[in-house]
A and B are shown apart, each in its own frame.
Chain A
Amino acid sequence: MRMTMGVFAAAAIAIAAPLVAQQVTGQPARDFKLTDMNGKTVQLSQFKGKTVVLEWHNGGCPFVQKHYNSGNMQKTQGAAVGQGAVWLTINSGAPGNQGHMTLEQTRAFMQSSGSKASNYLLDPEGIVGKGYDAKTTPHMYVINPEGVLVYQGGIDDKPTADAADIAAARNHVLAALAEMKAGKPVSVAESRPYGCSVKYAS
């Protein structure tokens, strides 16, 4: 019960400032709490000291399918987790909308897709999604160990639904992680996200 209250408190804060929701690259990323696929509460700040990657997900979206069916997303997840990063897949689809999943469906998806993500978080009210101004699936965010947002945008620079374009694309997330590992600033810190719109409750 207390956990639920915490979620609602976070919700209230996020709702209180919906217009300034957009997270600014180079500024601390806003903390949030969400329920994960096992029904446990996960808070962003508990990963301080580690790089965190956020991935907005909708299993029914062809652009998400492009990266999952080709194995590109799992490969990117594996590389990130392999470097010690935490990968949180977030679903902001409202109940009844495309891509919305229950806890059981989420666990099944993690099994069947071969996802290498650290965890899958549910945001059916879209509070965290709107707090991060997540517009598309996929929409990617990279947060450095200090909690500062260092990248937001698309997964790569080829805004298509065609898996054949992946080979020639620049994977912005992998590039950012590699630059962070080398102690360099992230060269492409923002890009245009592409994909389906996040299916928020309207």
Chain B
Amino acid sequence: MAVLRFLLTAWLALFAAGAVSAQITPGPHLALELVAESAAPVPGSTVMLAVRARPDPGWHGYWINPGDAGVPDRFAWTLPAGATVGEIRYPVPHRLMIAGIMNYVFEGEYAMLAPLSVPAGLAAGTALPVSARIDYLVCTEEVCVPESATVEARLTVGDGAIDPAIRARFDGWRAKLPRPLGSPATFAVAGDTLRIAIPLPAEASVADPYVFPVTERALDHSAPQSVTREDEALIVSTKAGGGASALRSLDGVLALGPDRGLSFTATPGEVAAAASGGGGASLPTILLALGGAVLGGLILNIMPCVFPILSLKALSLARSGVSERAARGEALAYGAGVIAVCVALGGLLLALRAGGATVGWAFQLQDPRVILALLLLVTAIAFNLAGLFELSGSGAVNRLAASGKGGAFLTGALAAFVATPCTGPFMGAALGAALVLPPAAAIGVFAGLGLGIALPFLAIGFVPALRRRLPRPGPWMERLRRVLAVPMFLTALALAWVLGRQAGVDGMTLGVAAALVLVLALWWTGRLQMRGSGRAWLPVLPALLLAVGATVLTTRAPAGAESANVTGEAFSETRLAALRAEGKPVFAYFTADWCLTCKVNEKAAIETASVADAFEAGGVQVLVGDWTNGDPALGRFLESHGRSGVPLYLYYAPGAAVPQILPQVLTPGMLTALVHQGET
């Protein structure tokens, strides 16, 4: 009986499940609510309204541009006489691809924000009923339901008080709105391809960038977007939409990560021609990069880190008794080894590029830790050339390298591997170009680099006349090796200088100390090697550990280390009020890492020596508001000064009631004049 009942229940459950998937449960599937930031706004002020939306689990609401399917929301407001509602701002949406059709949606709770202007001249206590009828579409992955709802909020004219709990909720919603990008973007349509250049400083962090178009039919929503970083711009390349060629301007939101984005307006104009990832890179560009890579590889042969390995191997081949056939075989194996390692290193870099943010190679070299690691490697190689120790440590590799094709392959691999520290500093730009090419072309460039490195050896292997012309091995080879240590030491010196520029005197000292420890250990190793000890490399291990420790410790010198920098303290409204109460002049500026205009102004005006001197002479206090992460308190402060974003430059003269708002493009003269205007 129990079994029968179980079967019956199971069967019913199955039936019910089928029925649910086929039928839509009664709505609404999106709970909407209207909230005002202040329930008692002051007449003549602006109060922020939020339409809070909570979709049922598994359901989603739509963004202002719904994507390929769906429809945007429709709002019909009912407002008190004289009141107006401004533009409705949506948070950064999510992508939802269903069977090849792109939807721009919100799957969790979200809020649309709109400012309500309260008419002036109303008596306190006047009722301000606000309501909106909202027609919207809400969908699961299978079904869509159009619904409508009327939401209302009952406001009363009052003192503008804001409940801290409500303020916190609004700040949470504000943080998810796209922030307006101050600088103008450009776009270009060529055939089927739309490319958008969005100004963004190289330092701005970006994860999974994507352009959500606000303008209809500007781009194909379902098509993949390829994003590359130029120096000071982010370039998005994708398939153009049906209306792209006729566009006068293109509005969109550039998502920089989850719930984080910048709204921009692009106008037709130049988009940097360099390398788009979506196959937009022209064949000549790729050929040029490839040719450059082969030439670069060829030049690397005379670099101090490759030449010794190559010349020793070449000389061994030149010895009598090597048949023509064997020479060719060895040359080919060597070439294969070089190219394999180059392609593997390239693949690693591409994987890093795909995995992390699109951080440029040049940017890596701005990291003092990378410089320190290179310094240690170059120092070790220099002392190796100088004869302090031998690189013949691992016996297996050495025996294999002695002769034969396997040995030639390993020698090639070693040459390419040892060549990388040389390529780093000297070919950073070229490798950077390779990294913005489409992956296949980028791998091609790395293979070209390998081919270039292998070319001389291939020539020696295939042309007997060249082999005969090579000088006979002898003691002169040792002398040449010692001489080659000199350029390597110079490289180390240059790296130490770069480290000093980046990490200050302390950082450079740390780096040189780490190099010293490493060299002492290598010296010990060299002595053990001379005695023929099998454990010659043991002393290096603790030294390497110390070096790694030093690398971790090395940090970028704090801002302000350079004499011309104006050092500002972090902005807060209380700090500003305190400084103004003391009667001090205050210069407050608001910046963000992703704001190119801000960075240009800081470099060209704020952080110049003349401004620093003038501010110091005038006792001007500097406050810096960093809006990189969209701090809501700063956002409100910006709003209260009529700005929706950065940059904003304010000067509070002593005793002045209101700040002077400076233009968005600064010159040192404007800033120094601020100090002098008080004197006249």
Contacts and interface: CB of A to CB of B under 8 A. Distances in A.
Contact of A197 (B74, B99, B135): B99
Interface stretch (B33-41, B142-150, B319-327): B142-150
B146 to A, nearest CB: 3
A161 B100 CA distance: 23
B144 A198 contact: no
Interface residues of A, number: 27
Contacts of B101: 135, 197-198, 200
Interface string B132-153: 0001010100111110000000
A16 B100 CA distance: 16
B139 A196 contact: yes
B144 A196 contact: yes
A22 B135 CA distance: 31
Interface centre among B69, B72, B98, B142 (most CB of A within 10 A): B69
B137 A161 contact: yes
B103 A197 contact: yes
B135 A160 contact: yes
Contacts of A197: 68-70, 98-99, 101, 103, 144
Given A160-B74, A190-B243, A192-B216, A201 B144 contact: no
Contact of B142 (A62, A97, A135): A97
B146 A162 contact: yes
Given A162-B135, A200-B99, A202-B98, A136 B68 contact: yes
Chain A facing B: main interface SS: loop
Contact of A130 (B72, B100, B142, B143): B100
A159 interface: yes
B580 interface: no
Nearest to B69: A197
A160 B144 CA distance: 12
A190 B242 contact: yes
Contacts of A190: 217, 242-243
Contacts of A162: 135, 146
A186 to B, nearest CB: 14
Interface string B89-101: 0000000001111
Contacts of B624: none
A98 B99 contact: no
B345 interface: no
A45 B295 CA distance: 57
Interface in B201-259: 216-217, 242-243
A199 B142 CA distance: 7
B69 A196 contact: yes
B71 interface: yes
Contacts of A195: 69, 71
Contact of B143 (A60, A136, A160): A60
B674 to A, nearest CB: 51
Nearest to A97: B142
A200 B146 CA distance: 21
A120 interface: no
Contacts of A136: 68-69
Nearest to B140: A98
A100 B137 CA distance: 21
Contact of A161 (B69, B99, B146, B217): B146
A22 to B, nearest CB: 8
Contacts of A200: 99-101
Interface residues of B, number: 23
A177 interface: no
B8 to A, nearest CB: 26
A194 interface: yes
Contacts of B243: 190
Interface in A24-56: 25
Given A130-B100, A196-B139, A62 B69 contact: no
Interface string A169-202: 0000000000000000000001010111111111
A14 interface: no
A202 B99 contact: yes
A127 interface: no
Nearest to B96: A197
B146 A135 contact: no
Contacts of A202: 98-99
A126 B98 CA distance: 13
Contacts of A130: 100
A14 to B, nearest CB: 13
B74 A98 contact: no
A197 B69 CA distance: 5
Contacts of A196: 69-70, 139, 143-144
Nearest to B72: A159
Contacts of A61: 144
Contacts of A192: 216-217
Interface string A126-146: 100010000110000000000
A130 B99 CA distance: 10
B143 to A, nearest CB: 5
B71 A161 contact: yes
A179 to B, nearest CB: 19
A194 B100 CA distance: 16
Contact of B146 (A60, A62, A201): A62
Contacts of A97: 142
Contacts of A194: 69-71
Nearest to B216: A192
Interface string B188-202: 000000000000000
A136 B145 CA distance: 14
Nearest to B71: A159
Contacts of B74: 160
B246 to A, nearest CB: 10
Contacts of B70: 194, 196-197
A135 B99 contact: no
Interface centre among B70, B74, B144, B242 (most CB of A within 10 A): B144
A16 to B, nearest CB: 16
Contacts of B69: 135-136, 194-198
A167 to B, nearest CB: 16
Interface string B340-368: 00000000000000000000000000000
Contacts of A159: 71-72
A135 B98 contact: no
A95 to B, nearest CB: 13
Interface in A85-106: 94, 97-98
Given A160-B71, A196-B69, A202-B99, A98 B146 contact: no
A62 B99 contact: no
Nearest to B144: A196
Q: Which 3 A-B pairs have CB atoms at the shortest separation, nearest pair first? A: A161-B146, A197-B69, A200-B99
21 contacts: A62-B144, A63-B146, A98-B143, A136-B68, A136-B69, A159-B72, A160-B71, A161-B135, A161-B137, A190-B217, A190-B242, A190-B243, A192-B217, A196-B144, A197-B68, A197-B69, A197-B70, A197-B99, A197-B103, A198-B69, A200-B100
Given A25-B242, A161-B146, A162-B135, 13 more contacts: A61-B144, A63-B144, A97-B142, A135-B101, A160-B74, A161-B137, A190-B242, A195-B71, A196-B69, A196-B139, A197-B99, A198-B69, A200-B101
